[in-house]
Amino acid sequence: MTLPAAFLDRPIAHRALHDASDGRPENSRAAIRAAMARGYGIEIDIQRSADGRAMVFHDYMLDRLTAARGCIFDQSAAALGGIALTGGDEGIPTLDEVLALVAGQVPLLIEVKDQEGQMGPGKGTLARAVASALEGYAGPVALMSFNPHAVADMGALAPAWPRGLTTSGFEAEHWPELTEQTRDRLRPIPDADRVGACFISHDARDLAAPRVAELKHAGLSILCWTIRSPEAEAAARRIADNVTFEGYLP
């Protein structure tokens, strides 16, 4: 399987085209509508609700992005839908709601957040929720996660969709929540073949890593995150096939 051209022929808006000062919070419907209006691809993040629904939200805790407190996975999907995103007037959407909004009009890059804490194997609850939401969807979708086990789960549950690994140099300063052992295990991207990855989305700060070049030579598409200026975009495109961006219009 290869990554469809739709993920390579236009920039991808990180957490959609967000700007809370303009009423478009991260991963909000408003940010998604704005990205669609400009024809950008859209990257979104998925967390799990207490009742096992796939929610479009980046953080594990609610407090940075809403006025609520606590963990997102302690609230039901209905309750989360009633919690307004800071800077906007809409609640936290489900993946089903976002898929209905996008309706295949632009490519959707879906990052499933690690649910295990140290990128280990889990029960696959969130992968099943994502697979269920995608049943019958006709637009371009690609699935990814930092957790290789989650990518493998999605391959088993939703094999028709292209999948990849979200990757990084996993420096201690940027990943203090991970143990040194976990960082050392993930850094060389050892699971690409095992999980059937056709792309990686790699930290732009680490694009010059030899392993990235190896994977590109092996035929994987190289995306990157997160680009925040035209200058950084130009530098990243010397290696990457496409960029995930925020804070400017590429």
Please spell the DSSP secondary structure of 60-112, one letter per residue: SBSTTTBS--SBGGGS-HHHHHTSBBTTSS-BPPBHHHHHHHHTTSS-EEEEE
Please spell the DSSP secondary structure of 144-195, one letter per residue: EES-HHHHHHHHHH-TTS-EEEEE----TTT-TTS-HHHHHHHTT-TTTTTT
Q: What is the mean pLDDT of the chain?
A: 98
Please give the average per-residue pLDDT across 132-139, as a whole number.
Answer: 97
- Please report which confidence band the pLDDT of residue 207 belongs to, taking 50, 70 and 90 as the band edges: very high
Please give the average per-residue pLDDT across 142-167, as a whole number.
Answer: 98
Please give the average per-residue pLDDT across 99-103, as a whole number.
Answer: 98
Q: Is residue 178 part of a domain?
A: yes
Residue 32: its pLDDT value, please? 98
Residue 86: its pLDDT value, please? 98
Assign residue 78 the CATH number of its domain: 3.20.20.190
Domain that residue 117 falls in: 5-245
Q: Is residue 152 part of a domain?
A: yes
Query: What percentage of the chain reaches a pLDDT higher than 70?
Result: 100
Q: Is residue 22 part of a domain?
A: yes
Residue 38: its pLDDT value, please? 98
Q: What is the pTM of this model?
A: 0.97
- Please report which confidence band the pLDDT of residue 3 belongs to, taking 50, 70 and 90 as the band edges: very high
Q: Is residue 77 part of a domain?
A: yes
pLDDT tens digits for range 155-201: 999 999 999 999 999 999 999 999 999 999 999 999 999 999 999 99
pLDDT tens digits for range 8-24: 999 999 999 999 999 99
Distance CA 250, CA 247 (A): 10
Q: Is residue 250 part of a domain?
A: no
Residue 113: its pLDDT value, please? 98
Q: Is residue 208 part of a domain?
A: yes
Q: Is residue 45 part of a domain?
A: yes
Number of folded domains that form the chain: 1
Joined tokens for residue 241: 């096939």
